[in-house]
Amino acid sequence: MSTTEGKWEKRWHPLREEWVVYSAHRNSRPWQGAPPLTTKKTYEHDPGCYLCPGNSRVNGKLNPQYKDIFIFENDLPVVGLEAPIIQESDHTGLYKRASALGVAKVVCYDPRHDMTLSRMKLDNVVKVFESFQEEMAAFEKNPAIKYVHFFENKGEAVGVSNPHPHCQVYATDFTFKFIEQQIRVAKEYEKKNQRNIFEDIITTERMHGVRIIAENDSAIAFIPFFARYAYETMIFPKKAHSSLISMSKEEIIGLSAVFHETVRRMDMNFNMDFPYVMSIMQAPVDGGNYAEFRTHLWLQPPYRQPGLIKYLAGPEIGGGNFMADTMPEDKATELRKINTHNYPYER
């Protein structure tokens, strides 16, 4: 029996400054684990995929016959250094617009069309994270770039149309809202408490223990006390880093290993390539001092049970507060029971 069965409470989300309401008492149907799920036939190479080696992209360029990681500027970018010049027209200053300046890139993890980060061997996942670090170091030297956001949308459940293993990079001349919020919250917390909020979160999670999913000498993964999605996971380097740039090779390896273990647990728990939205949360690269900020990976998987997606409705979309149907402790316990040494999908 779950120790949190029947829980009905609200918890404060310190980074978003909002209440999350939990109503696990509504989940009366027991779940004994996921049955094997049928999967679509996959191919090592898809001749119609614009990300596979040797194939043509939308602009007519041919991809090279790449063997591991392939990075290129997006052919249909959201932002670009050649974006049209926009003239401000609202004299009141209430309605603002500006040029969508920046750089948009695509990072292909592997030449195989049917690969995922969880299916890849750890050494190759480390290479992916090392490429993220190299991209960050290059963007830091570009005066036109103020902030860099790496994100992976994995799986049809989050709207992905192309399953080829890849993520995107938006390097922009402005900082994304959630980063701005976390930086402000961290500074206010430090001023008030003389402590770092991220360090306190990590320390508290380690003290409680029940929500930790994976851990090694360099990194830690947990479903936080204030998680909104059922399997929402934060992964932190244990040392204080505001971005990937300052991490050592050993720390990148450790972070990659904890991430790898986490996503494999998710795959095995549902017997499927588990979908998620992953963001790499990092401080801006605008020359400012962001010592209070701690870089971390943020995974938001949409499923709460096999075949059951958490859809946002009135309270979330209309009211701005999240209503969760499961307890973080239960979901973390579920994932900790998985023995990743038995992972059956590695290619």
Number of other residues whose CB lies within 10 A of the CB of residue 58: 9
Helix (H, G, I), strand (E, B) or coil at 19: strand
Concatenate the DSSP letters of all residues of 252-294 into one string: HHHHHHHHHHHHHHHHHHHTS---EEEEEE---SSS---TT--
The two structure tokens encoding residue 134 = 């190299």
Place of tokens 């204080």: 240
Helix (H, G, I), strand (E, B) or coil at 42: coil
φ and ψ at residue 152, rounded to 5 degrees: -125, 125
Q: Is 49 annotated as a binding residue?
A: yes
Question: If 0-12 CB within 10 Å is exposed, 13-18 middle and 19+ buried, where does residue 19 land?
Answer: middle
Q: Is 164 annotated as a binding residue?
A: yes
Q: Is 167 annotated as a binding residue?
A: no
Between CA 152 and CA 117 the distance in angstroms is: 10
Terminal Cα-to-Cα distance of the chain (whole angstroms): 37
Buried b (16+ CB within 10 A) or exposed e, 284-311: bbeeeebebbbbbbbbbbbbbeeeeebe
φ and ψ at residue 253, rounded to 5 degrees: -60, -45
Number of other residues whose CB lies within 10 A of the CB of residue 246: 15
Q: Is 113 annotated as a binding residue?
A: yes
Between CA 102 and CA 79 the distance in angstroms is: 5
Strands 322-324 and 18-23: parallel
- Beta-carbon-side half-sphere exposure of residue 46 (alpha carbons within 13 Å): 16
> How far are the Cα atoms of 16, 111, 149, 188 from residue 191, in angstroms, in the given order?
18, 48, 27, 5
Segment holding 34, helix H or strand E: none
- The secondary structure of residue 47, as a DSSP letter, is T
Between CA 261 and CA 202 the distance in angstroms is: 18
Q: Is 341 a catalytic residue?
A: no
Instruction: Give me the catalytic one of 13, 45, 166, 341.
Output: 166
**Residue list for the binding site:** 49, 52, 113, 164
Active site amino acids = 166
**Residue list for the binding site for Zn(2+):** 49, 52, 113, 164
